[in-house]
Structure 1
Amino acid sequence: MMPALDTSNQTSNRIMITSEVVDYISRSVLCWLATVDETGQPNVSPKEIFAAFDAEHIVIANIASPKSERNIEINSRVCISFVDIFVQKGFKAIGVARNVKRSDADFSRWSAPLEAMAGPKFPVRSVFVVQVISVEPIVAPSYRLYAAETTEKSQVASALQTYGVNKSGDV
C-alpha cells in the first residue's frame, strides 16, 4: 500500500507526479534508476523500495547501491522508470537527485515512507531524493503498432501466459 502523498511542502505549484503516476508506482515491483559516472558511462540499477513522496519528488531507498550513490554525487541528473509488467505500461521520470544520508537533518522526513516499507529486514543507508523535472509514459510497442487489437486486457492475458502466472483465485 502506497503512503498518501505529502503535498504540504511543495516548492512550486507544478504537479509532476499525478495520481496516475502514483498508481503505476504502486503497481511496480521494481523501479530502475539510471545514473552516469564521471566518464559518462551509464548505469541502470533496480531498486526495490521506492515511493512517490509528493507531487514533485520520488524517494528511493539506498539499501546496497554504492555505484548509484557515487554517480549521484558526481552527476545529479537521473532517470527512473517503473512499469506494470502485466499491462506493459508505466512511466519514466527525469529529475535531479540528491543523496540524503542518515546524518543529514532531513533524513527522517525523506526516509519515513521507505523505512515503513522496508521494515527491519532492509536497513535504509540513505535516501535518493529525486526532484522530478519531467514525466513521460512508457508503453509497449503493441499499443502503437496494433492499436486496434491491443488492449490492457489482451496485454495482461499475454503476459500471464508468457510468465506462466495464474491470476489470484485461479487454480
Structure 2
Amino acid sequence: MIEINADVEATIKQAILSFAATVNEDGTPNLSPKASLTVRNGVLYFADIASFGTILNLRRNPAVVINVVDVFQRRGYRFKGRALILPPGDDEYRMIADWIWVTNGVEYPVNHVVKIDITSISLLLSPAHVFPDPSRSQDEIRKTYYQKYGVKPLGK
C-alpha cells in the first residue's frame, strides 16, 4: 500500500478542488471535478454527488487518475490507481457520506463513495517553481499568485 504523507493530505485539504480522469466506453477521456476528495485513515476517497459518467466509467474500467493542485502554491499531486465503488450501507461509505453531510448539508446526495487503491503518487510542480527564478521560496510563489488572482489570504 502506498502511504499518503502529511504534505499530500494537507495539499488535498488546501486545494479543495481536484479532477478525476476516467475512460469513456469509446476510449476517450472523461475529466470530472471533485470537491469531495479526502483522506481518511490513510485512504483516498471521493463522493459521487453528481458523477453519473464517472461511476459508469469506473464500473467498466476501474483505472483512475486524480490530480489535485493548490493554485496559489502552484504544486500538487497526481494519484494513479484503481477505484472501488462503495454502495450505501458500507461502513466506509457511511464515514465519507457523514462528512459530506456535516460539511455541506444533508440535501447533498451521496450516491456512492469511491475508494482509491493508489498505485502511484507523483509530485506536480508548475513552471513557477523554476521560472523566472528557481531560488524563489514557496512563500514568494504563493504571494505572486495571490496577487495574480486578486485575492488576499484569510486573516490578513
Whether TM-score is above 0.5 comes out as: yes
Q: Tell me how far 1:158 sits from its aligned partner.
A: 1.5
Q: Pick the aligned partner of 2:46 from 40, 46, 60.
A: 60
**Structure 2 residue 58 is matched with structure 1 residue 72:** yes
| Aligned positions, number | 156
Q: What amino acid is aligned across from residue 48 of structure 1 in structure 2?
A: A
Q: What amino acid is aligned across from residue 50 of structure 1 in structure 2?
A: L
Contact 1:17 1:54 in 2 (8 A): no
Aligned equivalent of 1:22: 9
Per-residue CA deviations over 1:52-94 (Å, capped at 9, x if unaligned) read: 1232x21101101111011101110001111111111111110
Contact 2:2 2:119 in 1 (8 A): no
* TM-score with structure 1 setting the length: 0.81
Q: What amino acid is aligned across from residue 131 of structure 1 in structure 2?
A: D
- Structural mapping, 1:2-41, within 5 Å: 14-41=1-28
Q: Structure 2: how far apart are the matches of 1:48 and 1:110?
A: 13
Q: Structure 2: how far apart are the matches of 1:20 and 1:105?
A: 27
Per-residue CA deviations over 1:109-151 (Å, capped at 9, x if unaligned) read: 4544444433314121111111111100011112134453332
Cα 1:163–1:120 change in 2 (3 A) is same
Contact 1:99 1:128 in 2 (8 A): yes
Contact 1:79 1:95 in 2 (8 A): yes
* TM-score with structure 2 setting the length: 0.88
Q: Structure 2: how far apart are the matches of 1:100 and 1:43?
A: 20
Q: Structure 2: how far apart are the matches of 1:59 and 1:115?
A: 15
Aligned equivalent of 1:120: 106
Structure 2 stretches of 5 or more lacking a match?
A: none
Contact 2:16 2:35 in 1 (8 A): yes
Q: What amino acid is aligned across from residue 10 of structure 2 in structure 1?
A: D
Aligned equivalent of 2:94: 108
Q: What amino acid is aligned across from residue 20 of structure 1 in structure 2?
A: D
Query: Could you say what the CA RMSD is over the residues aligned between the two structures, in angstroms?
Result: 2.0
Structure 1 stretches of 5 or more lacking a match?
A: 1-13
Structure 1, 83-92 or 161-170: larger mean CA deviation: 161-170
Structure 1, 72-81 or 136-145: larger mean CA deviation: 136-145
Q: What amino acid is aligned across from residue 123 of structure 1 in structure 2?
A: P
